[in-house]
Amino acid sequence: MSELTQTVDVCITLNGHSIKATIPARENLADFIRHRIGLMGTNVGCEQGICGACTIRLNGDSVRSCLTLAAQANGHTVETIEGLTDSGEISQLQEAFHRNNAAQCGYCTPAMLITATELLNSKTEISRDKIREYLSGNLCRCTGYHAIIDAVEEVAEAQNNGR
């Protein structure tokens, strides 16, 4: 059948830029972002959804870019750590990570920032337990997590005081 091809035409809004490309159907969103576009802040770890290092934003929700085909992002909005950094949306959290030594090797950090931002933006009450639960899908092999939780908690408290 003519409609079935191994390549797909996509148009993806990536960090505010509209990107059109013809890509192999099997290309996942992580590889699209890293190799096609050259944004290396999205890291690839396990490629099976366990480690969380490839977490990005798709239509405003955190998702695993290794478990999302780029073809499935066609017509949708993708934000990566680069876009969120440039927009300044996560600067407070980035500073808190810096202050608390919450980044060591840095491999998990972009995904941690994206996941934690989703929690901070949710209108739920934030406790240390809640932070642990929310970040349970993001593995870190360096910090032992305490510093990361400290950093997120610090921003949550600052947000609360600001209200």
Partner 1 sequence: MKPRSFSFTTAHSVEHVIGLLQEHGDEAKIIAGGQSLVPTLNMRLSAPQLLIDISALDELRGISLDGDRLRIGALTRHVELQSNKLIAQHLPLIASAINHVAHVAIRNRGTIGGNLSLADPASELPACSLALGAELSIVGNKGKRIVKAGDYFKDLYETDLQANEILVAISFPLATTNTVHGFREFVRRRGDFASCGLVMNGERQDGKLTSLAPVFFAISNTPVLASKCAAKLLNKTLNDDLIEEALLELDRELPVIGDIHTSTEMKLHLAKHYLREILGEINV
Shortest spacing between CB 3 and partner 1, in angstroms: 6
Shortest spacing between CB 78 and partner 1, in angstroms: 13
Tokens of 154: 């610090």
Residue among 64 and 94 whose Cβ is closer to partner 1: 64
Candidates 13-21, 23-31, 84-92, 155-163 — which segment interacts with partner 1 by CB under 8 A? 23-31
Contact status: 49 vs partner 1 (CB under 8 A): yes
Sole binder of partner 1 in the list 2, 6, 18, 22 (CB under 8 A)? 6
Q: For tokens 């959804």, what's the residue?
A: 49
Contact at 8 Å (CB) between 92 and 155? yes
Contact status: 79 vs partner 1 (CB under 8 A): no
Contact at 8 Å (CB) between 62 and 114? yes
Q: First and final CA of the chain: distance in angstroms?
A: 59
Q: For the window 122-141, what string marks contact with partner 1 as x by the rule CB under 8 A?
A: ----------xxx-xxx---
For residue 156, give every residue at least 6 positions away whose Cβ sits within 8 Å of its Cβ, in sequence order, or none.
120, 126, 131
Sole binder of partner 1 in the list 52, 84, 100, 112 (CB under 8 A)? 52
Shortest spacing between CB 55 and partner 1, in angstroms: 5
For residue 53, give every residue at least 6 positions away whose Cβ sits within 8 Å of its Cβ, in sequence order, or none.
43, 44, 45, 46, 107, 108, 110, 111, 138, 139
Shortest spacing between CB 36 and partner 1, in angstroms: 14
Q: For tokens 């949708």, what's the residue?
A: 76
Q: Can you tell me the distance from the alpha carbon of 55 to that of 100, in angstroms, rounded to the nearest whole number?
A: 22
Sole binder of partner 1 in the list 36, 47, 104, 130 (CB under 8 A)? 47
Binding site for partner 1 (CB under 8 A): 1, 3-6, 8, 24-26, 28, 31, 47-49, 52, 55, 58, 61-64, 66-69, 71-72, 115, 118, 132-134, 136-138
